Amino acid sequence: MRKTVIAALVYFGLVLGTGFVLGMIRVPFIVPTIGERWAELAEMPIMATVIFISSGYILNRFPEIQTSTRSLIAGFLALALLICAELGLTVALQSETLVEYIASRDKVSGAVYLILLAFFALTPRLRLAKVLSHHSKTNNA
């Protein structure tokens, strides 16, 4: 179980770190040009790609999570960490209460963001079959 927690921490760190860097570009440079909704929506395909790559990385780096249950645990633990970190940072950096922050979210980009969070939690499990089939092909070669 220890390796599952470490995998979740790595997954969380990769995705949060990328989101933080993109946010540092999005907020001062892109939001003033095209608005918050469009800037957030433009960032989401990049984040989906980072999620996809990062989930493959943890599956390869931590073979202990290459089971249905452990890959789901890693994904959902990483999701819990991500939500706590994002909400904590938002409340701390924007001087808003949690309720104010949630109420201020754009309905369109906020809905897509929720879908992206589900994708984040489930991608390690969804990619598991592909990683396992790749490993069996390389082991049989």
- The residue extents of the domains of the chain are 2-140
32 pLDDT above the threshold of 90 = yes
Q: What is the pLDDT confidence band of residue 79, given thresholds at 50, 70 and 90?
A: very high
Cβ contact 59:71 at 8 Å: yes
pLDDT of the residue at 86: 85
Four-CA torsion 126, 131, 137, 141, nearest 10 degrees: 180
Give residues with Cβ within 8 angstroms of 1, minimum separation 6. none
| Cα 55 from Cα 123, distance rounded (Å) | 6
Average pLDDT, the chain: 91
Task: Give SS3 for 66.
Answer: coil
The predicted model gives 38-60 an average pLDDT of 97
| Cα 93 from Cα 87, distance rounded (Å) | 10
Quote helix, strand, coil % in the chain, to nearest 5: 90, 0, 10
pTM of the model: 0.88
For 82-129, write each residue's pLDDT tens digit. Answer: 999 988 887 787 777 777 877 788 999 989 999 999 999 999 999 998
71 pLDDT above the threshold of 80 = yes
Give residues with Cβ within 8 angstroms of 40, minimum separation 6. 26, 106, 109, 112, 113
